[in-house]
Structure 1
């Protein structure tokens, strides 16, 4: 039994989600291979070879693989899929774009967003916004899986896998990469941040959002997040949204300011190691998952907290 992990990378280095996916793969049993499909991505392939638990790295290099276009990456995966019993993707925007294409072409059911490997054919995954956990057993010859990265620790370093070059498939032809608009920030990436400060609709405006939360995030070296209500109201950009329809995070510390804790938001952050909630509503659902709760007006409490840091 051999497991294939599809690496997420920027052609120079691996994304953190790849390490969590490798950890899930090692728990399936068998050898773990990593596919690095890109252009001039030798550094990323070398980094994958050093990940603990990886037996082999497959490096496919072509100009049309440079930008991770889903059609091209899926074709590359399908070209080597016959050799594997499991194909694992991180449950990220990229992974969720490629995995269904692979599963459909292989005519198998995709197992989405697993949080635990019970055995080689049995997995756990959250359903109903995380309120229930389903145990799924698959009889498919090839198991196509996306991995919720917050459910697994990151694989460590210390590996010494061989890097093998594989032939790149031809470009898809019907789809081409046009451009990418990237939000640049000096703050940590939300899904990789160790500390996150999030705000809700109670902040009232984007100006207050920045005025109140930015100093706290600066003090803590944290990423900024937001509830869907705050994003919909225009107080924060879309890429800050935490929750079922946003980003799933599990930092060491999550500070929720003025967030009531709708079920969709809780689904995206309740696996955080320590949750601190500041809300003046004693009945706010966020307090049910918080390790520390402060019933107070955030406009008073947050500046006081900042002054103590």
Structure 2
């Protein structure tokens, strides 16, 4: 088997001297190893070798047709899809993992070929997401569903970049929605799950990019929408007794309010006499000192209530 694999690589390299010889040799090697892959003994070696030669054949066909590399990527990603189908048929056998490894390598090669063209890269990522979603149907490959979600999100981001979209919310939404859905389903299965684990990542991705954009945005529309969304998240967190929505929503709401009120506060401070701000600060400190014990009890009570949140 080792001699056959080494000889096939040497034969493929020698055939590169002629275009017709390259395609003919790669077709022969693909079919030869595909036939040998049906045998139990040589299957774990021959089946992935057939897929590797098929990927090389796809590249050779694309080059022979004069197509650019990002078009050839579509042919290579077909090899990855075929590998997923073969792995599903041979699930549980020694052939499964080597075939999946060859399919993953073909998928990475297709991404590298499509990297120079954003629309084609988005298409290849989408096809890869479909392949991984189909793989996740198998009971022993449920984790592939996470890879499928990542590929779909990357495909959406690349497509938005190809359309010259610069709004951060457009990039955050494809991540936020799946993250919150997964968190909600996880809490339904395990009610004791922390809200930070379930919703922290999704809410952070939804609110933080918009907050950073709002602080540099001279218009009022984005801060208004962000403040409304943060208020809604805060109210949901308070009503549902969840720490993550309450803290994240309240923090973003406070920062948005501070950003919007800062110019007016600066104008008021500029109009007041110079002695007014120190006098006001002193009055506040005196009031806090006079009611120190009460404020301390209130802080303990708030901490106890917050600790009871999930």
In the superposition, the TM-score normalised over structure 2's length comes to 0.24
Of Structure 1 and Structure 2, which has the larger fraction of its residues in helix? 2
Pair member with larger Rg: 2
Of Structure 1 and Structure 2, which has the larger fraction of its residues in strand? 1
